[in-house]
Homo-oligomer: A and B are copies of this chain.
Amino acid sequence: MSRETVNLRKLAEALGLSQTTVSRALNGFPEVSEVTRARVIEAARRLNYRPSASAASLATGKARAIGHVVTFGDHMMVNPHFTDFLAGAGEVYARFGYEMLLRLAPAGGEEDVYRDMISRGRVDGVVVHGPLTDDPRIPFLRSLGIPFVVHGRCGEDPAGYSWIDVNNRRAFMRACDFLMDLGHRRIALINGIERMNFADRRRQGYEAALMARGIRPDPAIMFSEDMVEPYGYRAAMEVLTGRDPPSALLVSSVLPAIGVMRAVAELGLRAPADVSILVFDDCLSFLQPGSAATPRGIPFFTAMRSSIRLAGRRIAELLIEQIGTPGGEPKHELWEAELVVGHTTGPLPVTEAVGSVSGQSLKSRR
């Protein structure tokens, strides 16, 4: 139970060696003899030696830590998708001996927070979450010259920094095509905040798919907000009880989709009999397995799926690699989302296909 802190000096004294040799032995330098190394390692374990992080950091100039700045949403909310990202990244950090630093910042105030933790030497690299379409954080971090990886990206084909992103545009095109192949023509979009690049791209995909079949996107059934449950509920309520309701809903996350289902149930409707629902599924673990599996093992929601946890893992790997090789080129990965057919999509209801008074028919079912 030796609770007294044992430092390098004491360890070296106990071994009758110099601090230098002990340090080298512990850090795997090749020039130390294997017998000495074994002795040192054994003694270090026995005496419970742990190198001081701040001393090491001061001496090397490396913090062995990575910073994450998470933005307070409009509801002073931390994006719940973040837990799953964290699970993926944290696993990698643990494996490579990196610390994870977390700071909150109000939307727009991230730069100060980044600057602070970087210039005080607390981190060797940072992750950018939720990039906007034209995000000041990217030029800012580039000017600082610190390694960073963006979860998502900004403009078209950005090459000046590292990022990992889902092909959101194509994912929503495919989703829309899938619904139109089933006969749907009027499809609502319940999107995330379109200042965010991922949501902007999703809207683009949605619009492109519609227009490719000669359908003009209708702003009356397109929404853009923080992806939370009540939002899905309100949006679904609005379009399903409005005039000319859509026969299908394209929803940007499982969270608002749950709200959509609540609205659907409250209106006495059923999916997919009355309305089809297609979701972008980030594989949130607390809604897993299979984004709410049904008894037969088929996922509940039909979805475009891409694991945010895997993204966290890969981004952490990339960032650590980048920290290790300062001169390296930026790297990019564009992932394709997978279409998974569940229970919430089906062919356009017959009543819908017949007349244009479908709104009334929907409402009358209550």
Q: Which residue of B lies closest to A67 (CB)?
A: B99
The 5 residue pairs across chains A and B that have the minimum distance between CB atoms: A54-B57, A77-B285, A90-B104, A54-B54, A50-B119
Chain B CB within 8 A of A354 CB: no
Contact of A78 among B84, B143, B300 (CB under 8 A): B84
Chain B CB within 8 A of A229 CB: yes
Q: In the docked arrangement, what's the CA distance between A181 and B307, Å?
A: 45
Contact of A79 among B82, B83, B100, B120 (CB under 8 A): B83
B228, A288: Cβ atoms closer than 8 Å: yes
Chain B CB within 8 A of A337 CB: no
> 14 A-B contacts, Cβ less than 8 Å apart?
A1-B143, A50-B119, A52-B120, A53-B122, A77-B288, A80-B80, A80-B83, A90-B103, A100-B103, A230-B287, A233-B292, A237-B295, A261-B261, A261-B265
Beyond A91-B104, A100-B101, A228-B287: 10 further Cβ-contacts under 8 Å?
A: A1-B143, A53-B121, A76-B87, A77-B286, A77-B288, A78-B86, A78-B90, A90-B102, A102-B102, A237-B295
Residues in B with CB closer than 8 Å to A117 are 99
Question: Chain A: residues with CB nearer than 8 A to chain B?
Answer: 1, 3, 5, 48, 50-55, 57-58, 63, 70, 72, 75-80, 82-84, 86-87, 90-91, 93-94, 99-104, 116-117, 119-122, 143-145, 228-230, 233, 237, 255, 258-259, 261-262, 265, 284-289, 292-293, 295, 300
Question: In the complex this chain forms, how many copies of it are found?
Answer: 2
B286, A255: Cβ atoms closer than 8 Å: yes
A52, B48: Cβ atoms closer than 8 Å: no
**Smallest Cβ distance from A299 to chain B, in angstroms?**
10
Given contacts A54-B54, A87-B77, A104-B90, contact A230 B285 (CB under 8 A): no
